Structure 1
Amino acid sequence: MQTIYQTTFTRVGDYARESLADNMLITFREGAPEDIEAYCFIHRPGDMQGELEAGATLTLANEVFPITAVGEVADNNLRELGHITIRFDGAAQAEYPGTIHVAGATPVDVPVGSALTIQA
């Protein structure tokens, strides 16, 4: 398997965990605008080594999720901003352009220090 993207979460915005109740998680790399940061899981900048695509796997806090759909700008948003929305609904088509859909149960929490890895 090739690692496409890997990073570590360094901060969790004040309201970021609320998104988990809606079966989603929003990421942004360090340096996000303050009003956006409050709703995001903040991580170190990472380098993209390939393209995001359905069929790859996303590992989040040691749990593995198959990627079922990738929005048309998710790849670029992750590369440029470290920003994606992960939906835990297993959808076969992306609901929004910046969304990655995965199969599996929504994590109860994603603590600071957790890793995010995408492999194909």
Structure 2
Amino acid sequence: MTVTEITQIGKEAVNDENIIVLFGETITPDLLDVSVVQKKISDETIALKAGSRIIFGDQSYQVQGVGPVANQNLNEIGHATIFFQAEVGTIANAVYVSPEKLPELEVGMKITFQ
């Protein structure tokens, strides 16, 4: 289990597209408006796979599929695009989760990858 904390939510990070773009604290300024910035607060490696869970605060989502570079990017730079949809697509850095409803996010909220 790995835990991160949301440190910043871009003004355009949450919209009606049913996706959230996560980035670590090394995010470039041009991506801040469309991203949710997180910092790791535990040292475990993120190893998501179908059947894993991502929990935003107390809002739990089941992982349906994981792109081939998503875990590596989450561990190295805190980056992945979370798609809130049951259908698994082919985007290399995507994590597909259900239910198909965006979580309510706030700065200071913990994200648990398990």
TM-score for both structures, normalised by structure 1: 0.86
- Structure 1: gaps (5+ residues): none
Give deviations 1:75-112, integer Å, cap 9, x for gaps: 11101110011101012x33300000001032353111
> 1:52 Cα deviation (Å)?
1.5
Q: Where in structure 1 do 4 or more consecutive aligned residues deviate above 6 Å?
A: none
Residue 107 of structure 1 corresponds to which residue in structure 2?
A: 102
Equivalents in 2 of 1:39, 1:30: separation in Å? 14
Q: 2:32 aligns with which of 15, 30, 37?
A: 37
Match of 1:17 in 2: 14
1:66 paired to 2:62 = yes
- Deviation track 1:14-61 (CA, whole Å, cap 9, x = no partner) reads 21122xx10111110113100012210011135343521111111013
Give the CA RMSD over aligned residues: 1.5
Q: Share of identical aligned residues, percent?
A: 26
Q: Which amino acid aligns with 2:49?
A: E
Equivalenced residues, count: 113
Give the distance between the partners of 2:86 and 2:108, measured in 1 at CA.
26
